[in-house]
Each structure stands twice: as structure tokens, then as C-alpha cells.
Structure 1
């Protein structure tokens, strides 16, 4: 719908939700190490390094959790726009939680 109304819009997937959706299939015993490995992807300095990190994380964890990284590959086009921005800007836009919170407040007010 956004692309239809605004054809030049670039869509950025929420990194926090991407990580949460990945970690929900990982047991507690591996969650901390897995999350640290995921961080190497979205903290990479550019898209090329992020893709290499994605491949490394997938290679490391695919034997234990074969489908855990599938969504990262499926959503890669919607994840990569974040690498066009500086680290300071990335901290602000890596999550949509602030926007979701604002929308939730609007919905409550409109009821």
C-alpha cells in the first residue's frame, strides 16, 4: 500500500522485530550467544560486511536451528536500507517501537 501511494518510498524492516522473530525459535541456553551473533549483522559498517556476517551466523547455527535465519534472507531487501545511514541515525531508526507506541496512543484516544 505504501509503495502504491509513494512509489519512491524505501521500506525499512524493524531490526528489533526481526531479531525477536529469530530468537523465539532458539532455546534459552543458546539465546545469548545467538543474539550476540545476530548483532554482528545489523551492527556491520556496510551492507557487504553485513551480508558476510549473515552468512557466518547462518553457517554457525544452521546445524542446530536449520530455519532460524531463513527470514533474514527473505527480508534482506527490507533490512538493508539501514546501512545507508550513519551509526547515530541507525540507533534512532532500527526499531519501530516508538511509532507503534504513538499509534497505540492514537487508537486509545479515538476509542
Structure 2
């Protein structure tokens, strides 16, 4: 088992301690959906940072013509749902 796998198992065990039913893990507002949502959000944010070449609120973006100008809600459809 790699160190990442071990850390992942430890984190999952910690999160699952708080879940008392399958619905709390798999339900509409369950742990799986929350983790998936946050993972996608972080990956997309990192992708945008890489693409633009600067972090949010960084001075490099000001006046570049390609500034981050806020964000709005979006709905992503995947095999796991919305």
C-alpha cells in the first residue's frame, strides 16, 4: 500500500465515522456527492489557474485582458449525476 492509499483510507475512515446510515453516504446530500462536488471544483479551479498562469486575486492578472472576473453557478452532468 502506497502512502497516498494509506492516507486516503485514513481520511475515508475519519469521514465515515460521522455517517450513521447508507443515506448519509449515498443520498442526495450524502458524503459521496459532497466529495465528488468538491473534487471537481478544485480540479477545475486548478485547471483555470494553470491555463491563465496566475492564481485568483493575483496582481499578474490585472489589466491583462484575461482577468478572472468572478464566477457563477454551473451544473455539471456526469455519469455520477449532477
Structures share a fold, TM > 0.5? no
TM-score (norm 2): 0.32
Larger helix proportion, structure 1 or 2?
Answer: 1
TM-score (norm 1): 0.25
Higher relative contact order (CA 8 A, sep 6+): 1
Q: Which is greater in Rg? A: 2
